[in-house]
Amino acid sequence: MNKHDISKRLTLLREQMSLLQIDVFIAMSADPHMSEYLPDFWKIREWLTGFTGSVGTVVVTQHFAGLWVDGRYWVQAEHQLQNTGFTLQKLTNDESTNHWSWLAEHLNENAQISVNTQTISVQQFAILKHIAQQKNFQIIEDIDLIAKIWNNRPALPQHPIYAMKDGINALSRLEKIEKIREHLIERQINGHFISALDDIAWILNCRGADVEYNPIFLSHLYINQQQIVLFIDSSKIDTTLKTQLEADQIQILEYHQTQEFLSQLRDKQILIDPAKISYFHQQAFSAETKVIEDINPSTLFKAQKHTSEIEHIKTAMQKDGIALCHFFHWLESALKNNESINELTIDEKITAFRAQQEGFIGLSFSTIAGFNENGALPHYRATPESYSEIHGNGLLLIDSGSQYEEGTTDITRVVPIGILSAEQKRDYTLVLKCHIALAQMVFPKGLAAPLLDSIARQHLWKYQLDYRHGTGHGVGFALNVHEGPQVLSYYAPIHAYSKLREGMITSNEPGLYHEGKYGIRIENLVVNRLKENSQTIYGDFLEFETLTLCPIHLDCIERSLLTENEREWLNQYHENVQAKLSPFLQGEVLAWLNHNTRAI
């Protein structure tokens, strides 16, 4: 992206602000569904600043332009914002570092603040409104400044949606809707409005392609005891699916009709998730409607995968493991033959091997292939304009994943290139020890997920080392690779929905990043399962079952740092990987698997 264009866009924005007497412009990384990954139409922050990370908040005045991002993106943002007019604002756990505190400290009384209410959640708008009342600021809700300056803006996506194959989902869409209706009855709530796209896709057992890497479709959903209304561009639904939805008594209205529909509702109490619905939609409810704010019940239901769904996910993991064995065998052979390989080649090859698997839909996120210093950027992405060749000595970090009909995968491995230093082997082994510590955990059912994070980090903390991202995030069932409500991070607040339950799938991905040198991350997906014979006077206990099937590179390990127990875990993991994948491999690829799952 041309940095001159970024500076020009900032100038145009300020001209509009001056013309309309607006003092402050705020842009959130969001769409009307509060999504993490956005359709191109809603990539306002990226278009305005040039920063390509998945999250960040922009604040612009006539004399200041800042982008707030957390520690995962500091190095990336600092580089991408150079000579654009925007400055990096480092967001930490300290509330004084966030953009809300900046507004309260730097704005004059009666400042006019412009925000697009379609892209700010009810939860976030409440914070802004509180600050505005305290400081006597004025919030301008009805001016879309970006629409005035973004020429040739991409249109909203028009991809068709489709029903998932029979037998994949444990429950039908009507069974899922009935669970939601039962929840509403228990809470004595009349209706429920849902904007979260992965929740809607899960409820309806449908998938789409409106957002890159996420098999979801732009829509809203309303459920009460008498009706089910889906708001969607009707051209995305073919005749067969339309007939199926109508047979289930699902009414289809156009995507843009939500505001009118909500304004005419006569249900007395409506449930919304304040973190997953826009302030624009909340404002549409009539004055007679009482809005109840709580988490979407579907978010909790979909987090706990059924036994049959976990079996499907294991099939996806097996397919992924087969593809990865072919990929890593190719990579090792190509390096030995001194073939020209770069970070873009890695992305192309790993995708090609996965695409050979039956039921492959696409990637679950953009592949991260970072060699040496690029691997120290947790969310690095090589581009044709900026990438590294793979040669010499060092560490190659590869974080990748796929969407299959049976499930979603996410895995990170680190490959040794040439000769490693003693420091690199030590660091890799410390990260592996963190990974094993979490993988072996037994914990009370219902434990708050963030409490497990420090157990994983202990082996790094011993050396005064750490990493600036969580150790684990929830993963969807053939859905979004990032899914709540569980998150393994001591940065995360503990609330009523932090509890770990059976069937939840979470990533186990400790890491270590030395800026300008190298990065390490070892990631598998795990599922919570009830530990055998764990029913005690102290309650039930859970443990993690590792789902990912791929060797962990042994040549990076400083074996003297591993305990006997840790070696046993690694050997058992590799024994399982070998048993599950070897029947589907042959020749040199099978030999590669056998060598890389050898006992140590």
Helix (H) or strand (E) holding 15: helix 3-19
| Averaged pLDDT for residues 537-558 | 96
3-class secondary structure per residue, 171-208: CCHHHHHHHHHHHHHHHCCCEEEECCHHHHHHHHCEEC
CATH number belonging to the domain at 3-149, selected among 3.20.20.210, 1.10.10.10, 1.25.40.340, 3.40.350.10: 3.40.350.10
**Band of the pLDDT at 533, cuts 50, 70, 90?**
confident
Homologous superfamily of the 304-596 domain (CATH): Creatinase/methionine aminopeptidase superfamily (3.90.230.10)
Average confidence (pLDDT) over 485-512: 96
| pLDDT of 534 strictly over 80 | no
Cis peptide before 485 (omega within 30 of 0): yes
- CATH architecture classification, 162-300: 3-Layer(aba) Sandwich (3.40)
In tens, the pLDDT along 52-110 reads 988 999 999 999 999 999 988 998 999 999 999 999 999 998 999 999 999 999 999 99
Give the pTM: 0.95
Q: Sketch the domain layout of the chain as residue ranges.
A: 3-149, 162-300, 304-596
d(CA 137, CA 469): 34
- The 10 Å CB-count burial string (b at 16+, else e) for 150-176 is beeeeeebeeebbbbeeebbebebeeb
pLDDT over 90 at 3, yes or no: no
Q: Per residue in 427-465, pLDDT tens?
A: 999 999 999 999 999 999 999 999 999 999 999 999 999
Q: Tell me what the pLDDT averaged over the chain comes to.
A: 96
pLDDT at position 1 over 80: no
**Pair 61, 23: CB distance under 8 Å:** yes
Mean pLDDT of 164-190: 97
> Quick one: average pLDDT of 221-234?
97
Q: Where are the beta strands (DSSP E) in 461-521?
A: 472-474, 483-488, 505-508, 511-514, 518-521
Assigned token pair, 97? 């570092």
Helices 307-336 and 587-596, packing angle to 10 deg: 100
Q: Residue 536: is its pLDDT beyond 90? A: no
C-alpha 477/C-alpha 310 separation (Å) is: 8
Do the domains at 3-149 and 162-300 have one common CATH topology?
A: yes
pLDDT reported for residue 537:
86
Cβ burial, residue 531 (10 Å; 0-12/13-18/19+): middle
pLDDT in tens, 97-155: 999 999 999 999 999 999 999 999 999 999 999 999 999 999 999 899 999 999 999 99
Let me know: does 446 contact 377? Beta carbons within 8 Å: no
Tell me the pLDDT tens digit for each residue of 268-277: 899 999 999 9
- For residue 381, what are the contacts with CB-CB under 8 A and spacing of at least 6? 52, 366, 367, 368
